[in-house]
Amino acid sequence: MMCCCMVFAVACRTMSHLFSPPSYFPPPHYDFKQNPLDKDKVLLGRILFYDPILSQDNTISCASCHSPYNSFAHTDHALSHGIGDKIGTRNAPALLNLAWHERFMWDGAIHHLDMQALAPITHPLEMAESMPNVVKKLEKEALYPPLFKKAFGDSTVTGENLLKALAQFQLTLVSNQAKFDSVMRKQSHFTEQEQHGYVLFDQHCSTCHPPPLFSTYQFANNGLPLDTVLKDYGKMKITQNHADSLLFKIPTLRNWEYTAPYMHDGRFQKIQQVLQHYTKNIQKSATLSKELQNGVVLSANEKIDLIAFLLTLNDRHFVFNPAVAFPKTYLLDKKNSSSSNGEVQ
Amino acid sequence: MIIRCLFFLLLCSNVAIAQKNRALDIQLLFQGQKLVLDSSYWIAQKQDSIQISTCKFYLSNIELLQDGEVVFRPTKKHFLIDISQPNSLSIDLSNKKKLVFNQFRYTLGIDSTTQVAGAMGKDLDPVNGMYWTWQSGYINCKIEGYSSHCTTRNHFFQYHLGGYQAPFSTQKTCTLLLNSQQDQWILYFDIARFLEQTDLVRLPEIMSPQAEAVRLAHIVAQLFSTKP
């Protein structure tokens, strides 16, 4: 009994060190019981995330499209840019607060974070690899079997453990250090302009982008006209239900300043264009969300105040957090580093 | 000391008697003959020449029953059957008790709870190529090959039958009669009888959850038989 309590206490301690959302966040959706966070698993996941070995020609890593400095999105690329300079069909979203997402991808094609990595690894325009081959490559690379052993107690590389490690690292990408958060913690105050922006936000945006996560992570049609080249109908592709035509996953607005361009196809470069869309260019269609039926009315000054509020959602600490950055000691010189067990930088 | 040895021997023999080895073997057929991968078969009825290159499927939630009452369930829940892996073609049903049963129940495919439980290992590891990558979900049954009638590249046909959500749930549970006097049974599946029900000309590829996947998966499940 006593022993049980101790094990539990230790488990809680490691877990809370790796994942400790603030009290004003709702309970996460991810079932941590199935894959309890552990520092060696998170570290393995972090190394894998930054290692191009997961791609067919060893040139593209997850971080190629999900850069920490862009809040793990892809800057400059409206559509994702993968192996052999191939261009995909969607914009790479920011990766943060993933434990609260119910489904993944702009159309919700993926229902579990563990399974998400299969998509980029095997996609012909992204990493173009196969899972059996990735497993084989990792087993041959001196760096990995000891890391799998340390993390999972078994140096054999399996698809299961590879996926679990990648999910663990991504679960630790929690953004909660924006100015908005310090106001929530009563450590700081909104300026008058930010406060006014917050009121406007609450009025016009918060049904779909509610604090503190700034997304419901549900799906909606926010009135973007169909791109006639890409012909992307969003969620309908997965459900084959017409009621889901043009519905896309609602993205978080946290760290938006680091994640341009915007929307599922990266059609807008600037936040002003986004506001222009919501105030002037909403396209009516059968599935347009009811909140946006009459468009959003904002004066020029109100737009400025709204943007002032939105700027309080940027989390510099998250973007420059060394704990989730490129693991130099492991990846810069793989051959030497396999014997090193120094601190990660 | 001698007594202890005797006791030990007694214990061993007891276990040996109590342990009942039982197994269900899976045999894939083509027109009643044992299927050989990658060899050519002629279907007279359709005037078609066929080769099978892959046949893999999940058998799950296996149960032995006596008049509808479950008497035994193996601890392993999901078995990946793959004709190219001889080890996968036998399901161990051994246990310690003598059982009386007259039915065998199985499900073709993976249930919806397991489908959404995250990354899993062994038979459920995505490395086995039985998990869709572009969208979440296991492929419950994968049958691939060549048909002279297919107008696809290299005349290749691919049936990846999966989907776990309504209205396209492909899982199917069936019950067969089984005689508990035996301790070795064979479960037959004749791929030719499956192909008779497909339209290789019009629909040679199924790669996502859809109505036709549901129809075909249910046909596969019902084609298993204890008679060749």
The mean predicted confidence, pLDDT, of chain B is 90
Report how far residue B115's alpha carbon sits from residue B11's, in angstroms, rounded to the nearest whole number: 43
Task: Collect all residues of chain B within an 8 Å Cβ-Cβ radius of residue A34.
Answer: 117-118
Does residue A345 fall inside a structural domain? no
Between chains, do B116 and A34 touch, taking CB under 8 Å as contact? no
Claim to verify: residue A104 and residue A205 sit in the same structural domain? no
Q: How many folded domains does chain B comprise?
A: 1
Put simply, whether A236 touches B (Cβ < 8 Å) is: no
Nearest to B118 among A114, A122, A131 (CB): A114
Q: Provide, as residue numbers in chain A, all residues whose Cβ is less than 8 Å from the Cβ of B125.
A: 158-160
Q: How far apart are CA A327 and CA A312, in angstroms?
A: 29
Structural domain count, chain A: 2
Q: Which pLDDT belongs to residue B14?
A: 41
A134 & A229 share domain: no
What value does the mean pLDDT take over residues B23-28? 95
Residue B120 has its nearest CB partner, among A110, A111, A160, at A160
- Distance in angstroms (rounded) separating the CA atoms of residues A97 and A124: 28
Distance from CA of B131 to the nearest CA of A (A): 9
- A147, A220: one domain: no
Once rounded to an integer, what is the mean pLDDT over residues B140-145?
A: 97
* pLDDT at residue A273, rounded to an integer: 97
SS (H, E, C) chain A: CHHHHHHHHHHHHHHHHHCCCCCCCCCCCCCCCCCCCCHHHHHHHHHHHHCHHHCCCCCCCHHHHCEHHHCCECCCCCCCECHHHCECCCCCCCCCCHHHCCCECCCCCECCHHHHCHHHHHCCCCCCCCHHHHHHHHHHCCCHHHHHHHHHCCCCCCHHHHHHHHHHHHHCCCCCCCHHHHHHCCCCCCCHHHHHHHHHHHHHCCCCCCCCCCCCCCEECCCCCCCCCCCCCECHHHHCCHHHCCEEECCCCCCHHHCCCECCCCCECCHHHHHHHHHHCCCCCCCCCHHHCCCCCCCHHHHHHHHHHHHCCCCHHHHCCHHHCCCHHHHCCHHHHCCCCCCCC
Contacts of B135 in chain A (CB under 8 A): 109-110, 238
* CATH at residue A18: 1.10.760.10
Query: Are residue A170 and residue A44 in the same domain, yes or no?
Result: yes
Residues A120 and A247 both lie in one domain = no
Give me the interface pTM, i.e. the ipTM: 0.82
Give SS3 for B19. coil
Answer whether A125 touches B (CB < 8 Å): no
| A160 with B210: Cβ contact below 8 A | no
Chain A residues within an 8 Å CB radius of B112? none
Query: What's the domain range around A59?
Result: 13-175+318-338
Tell me if A117 sits within 8 A of A76, measured CB to CB. Answer: no
Evaluate whether residue A49 is within a structural domain. yes
| Residue A343 counted as domain residue | no
Q: Say yes or no: A261 and A288 in one domain.
A: yes
Cβ of residue B136 closer than 8 Å to a chain A Cβ: yes
Q: Are residues A154 and A21 in the same domain?
A: yes
A159 inside domain: yes
Which residue of chain A comes nearest to B136, CA vs CA? Answer: A110
Report the C-alpha gap between A84 and A89 in whole angstroms: 15
Q: How many Cβ contacts (< 8 angstroms) between chains A and B?
A: 66
Contact yes or no for A109 and B135 at CB 8 A:
yes
**In this complex, is the C-beta atom of A159 within 8 Å of any C-beta atom belonging to chain B?**
yes
Domain identity same for A73 and A221: no
- Enumerate the residues of chain A whose CB falls inside 8 A of the CB of residue B120: 160
Q: Residues A212, A190: one domain?
A: yes
C-alpha–C-alpha distance, residues B227 and B185, integer Å: 10
With beta carbons under 8 A apart, name residues in chain A contacting B128. 159
Of A41, A38, A46, A35, which Cα lies nearest the Cα of A16? Answer: A38
Helix (H) or strand (E) holding B114: helix B112-115
The one-character DSSP state at B97 is S
Between A75 and B55, the more confident residue is B55
pLDDT digit string, tens, across residues B78-115: 999 999 999 999 999 988 888 899 999 999 999 999 99
Q: B68: left (phi > 0), else alpha (psi -120 to 50), else beta?
A: left
CA distance linking residue B41 with residue B20, whole number of Å:
40
The answer on A183 and A153 residing in a single domain is: no
**Chain-chain contact of B135 with A110 (C-beta, under 8 angstroms):** yes
Q: Same domain for A84 and A189?
A: no
CA distance B211 to chain A (A): 11
Q: What does the pLDDT read at residue A256? A: 96
The answer to whether B118 contacts A35, with C-beta atoms less than 8 Å apart, is: yes
A89 and chain B in contact, CB less than 8 A:
no
Taking CB atoms and an 8 Å limit, are A110 and B117 in contact across chains? no
Using an 8 Å Cβ cutoff, are A60 and A127 in contact? yes
Q: Do B134 and A119 touch (CB under 8 A)?
A: yes
Which B residues 182-221 touch A at CB under 8 Å? 210
- pLDDT tens digits, residue range A94-151? 999 999 999 999 999 999 999 999 999 999 888 989 999 999 999 999 999 999 999 9
pLDDT at A26 over 50: yes
Q: What is the pLDDT of residue A87?
A: 85
A38 and A106 share one domain: yes
Which residues have a Cβ under 8 Å from the Cβ of B44 and sit 6 or more positions away?
none
* Domain presence at residue A165: yes
- At residue A334, the pLDDT reads 65
- Residue A2 domain-assigned (yes or no): no
Does A137 lie at the interface with B, CB-CB under 8 angstroms?
no
Are residues A246 and A236 in contact, defined by beta-carbon separation less than 8 angstroms? yes
Residue range A203-255, pLDDT digits in tens: 999 999 999 999 999 999 999 999 999 999 999 999 889 999 999 999 999 99
A160 and B133 within 8 Å at the Cβ level: the answer is no
Q: What is the nearest CA distance from B158 to chain A, expressed in angstroms?
A: 18
8 Å CB contact of B129 and A34: no
Boundaries of domain holding B55? 2-225
Label residue A341 by pLDDT band (50, 70, 90).
Answer: very low
